[in-house]
Amino acid sequence: MRKKLTYRLLIWSLVVFLALIACGISVDTGSEAPQTQAPPTSTNPAPVEPSPLPPTDTPPAGQPSPTFQQAEATEPPAQPSPTSAPQCTVLQDLFFRSGPGTLYDPPVRALEPQTVLFPQGYNPVGVPGGSWVQVREPQANLIGWVSAGEQYVDCNIDLTSLPSVAVEPPPPPAPPKTGNSAPDGSFPDNLIFKEDFDRDYLYRLYAHDINVGEEDGDGIASIEFTIRDADGNVVHENSEETPGFCVFGGGEPACNTWLLEDYVYKWPSTGIPVEDGVYELRVRVILDDDSQGDGNWSYDLTVSLD
């Protein structure tokens, strides 16, 4: 009977022992059971790759422009590859004009050094001179002209290989401006005269001898006009025997105007180009009655091409 009871207690103890192991309770058996822990569960979402910026200089409609920091984080823009296409590089500050010459005024715009232009045509003689190259300016997408001098542009082609371009001539420049001092000289008492300074024809004189008549030219044998530069050189001279008495001739009915050749104003009798400066205009009136003496007087004449 005792053996049967002992056997039942052993079986019951084994069942209890197995139950405790199943519940994870450590049983002091002389060694510790290894403890395992489940990895902690993260509450943060997985990282997401940022979307790239659109490949344009301006943002799409309705979206803000990228910030400075965003721009720093993007890849640097690809550098343009070298090209063999004809091009010219501006070497110094340079005017971009509507035609081949400085008389195509005012300039369209000013170009800075290192501006790249694309040549399209070439005219060896501009207005009033020099060689000029027709170019496309890519920044504003304009067609115009710049001086072709090697001190102004550096081109990777022979510009003379480009076609010549027919262009409308520029409007003529305004005639020179003039100003005059008061006359200095002698005038016979019987000489009556009136003067007219004009920008187009410079000077006209109405004169007559009251001992002869009242009409323009009565009693006048001739009138001589002489213009000298500051060094005393004669730049223009003319003699008139009948009215109108114009420094450049004509006067019937209108005086002749300044001589304009290749868009350059010149003194009509000599062809010397007009320059800014102070000149002397001398007028001599020779009467039919030489006993009365001549009229002689002069002016300081200021000439400006502005």
pLDDT at 291: 82
Condensed to tens digits (0 to 9), the pLDDT of residues 171-227 reads 888 999 999 999 999 999 999 999 999 999 999 999 999 999 999 999 999 999 999
Rounded CA separation 207/222 (Å): 10
Rounded CA separation 271/225 (Å): 16
Residue 214 lies in a domain: yes
Domain extent, residue 124, equals 88-161
Residues of the chain under the 50 pLDDT cut: 1-3, 5, 23-81
Rounded CA separation 188/192 (Å): 9
The answer to whether residues 123 and 189 belong to one domain is no
pLDDT at 64: 35
Q: Which of 281, 234, 292, 236 shows the shortest CA–CA distance to 259?
A: 236
* Global confidence as pTM: 0.61
The answer to whether residues 129 and 204 belong to one domain is no
Which is it for the CA torsion 122, 124, 125, 129, positive or negative? positive
The answer to whether residues 155 and 192 belong to one domain is no
The answer to whether residues 191 and 93 belong to one domain is no
Condensed to tens digits (0 to 9), the pLDDT of residues 9-35 reads 556 566 555 555 554 444 443 333 344
Pairing state of beta strands 116-123 and 109-111? unpaired
The answer to whether residues 257 and 223 belong to one domain is yes
Residue 55 lies in a domain: no
pLDDT at 8: 61
Rounded CA separation 270/301 (Å): 18
The answer to whether residues 157 and 181 belong to one domain is no
CATH number at residue 275: 2.60.40
The answer to whether residues 209 and 293 belong to one domain is yes
Residue 229 lies in a domain: yes
Rounded CA separation 267/79 (Å): 57
Is residue 8 within a helix (H) or strand (E), and if so which, with residue range?
A: helix 2-22
Taking CA atoms, 174 is separated from 96, 97, 107, 263, 292, in Å, by: 22, 19, 17, 10, 42
SS3 content of the chain, % helix, strand, coil (to 5): 10, 35, 55
pLDDT at 42: 41
Rounded CA separation 77/54 (Å): 13
In whole numbers, what is the pLDDT of the chain averaged over residues?
81
* Percentage of residues of the chain with pLDDT beyond 70: 73
Residue 199 lies in a domain: yes
